[in-house]
Amino acid sequence: CNLVLEHLPTLEGVFEEWHRVTRPGGWCTLVVNHPLQTATGAGPITDPDDGEVFLRVGEYFASGWTDEPAGDATVRFHHRPLGDVLEAASAAGWHLERFEERGVSAELRAKDPSWTGHEHVPRLLGARWRR
């Protein structure tokens, strides 16, 4: 599941359904915007002196949602702390095998210099669970 979970208003039933339709020994892979990025009030802060980027974490431990501009429309992001996601998967019978956090890649920074300074701020996370 790639960049979808944060657009669902609830996790209720999500991991259970994935577990139901996956064969024993199969796995579920999830890539999402890092929850540090989706919390209400979260966002980058750039130091005007040297361009270093810091992250305002906002209301990280509070579930909620924000609407973000996307062209002429808006996209709703439902935030939940990382622990809520991991607990929902575990409660549905999934066993975490791999977990990765990533910042902005060198390729993206080369293509779009506005991302310079973001390489040390988690942007995406990926997880793989085994059934």
**Confidence band (pLDDT; 50, 70, 90) for 46?**
confident
> Phi and psi dihedrals of 58, rounded to 5?
60, -150
Q: Decide: helix, strand or coil at residue 126.
A: strand
CB 121 within 8 A of CB 103: yes
In whole angstroms, what is the distance from residue 39 CA to residue 130 CA? 28
**Confidence band (pLDDT; 50, 70, 90) for 83?**
very high
In whole angstroms, what is the distance from residue 43 CA to residue 36 CA? 8
pLDDT average, residue stretch 14-38: 96
Domain ranges of the chain: 5-130
HSE-CB of 37 using CA atoms within 13 angstroms: 17
What is residue 76's predicted lDDT score, i.e. its pLDDT?
95
Share of the chain above pLDDT 70, in %: 100
What is residue 28's predicted lDDT score, i.e. its pLDDT?
97
> Phi and psi dihedrals of 36, rounded to 5?
-60, -25
Task: Give the CATH class of 5-130.
Answer: alpha beta
Q: Is the pLDDT of residue 1 over 80?
A: no
Quick one: which of 47, 124, 39 has its CA closest to 77? Answer: 39
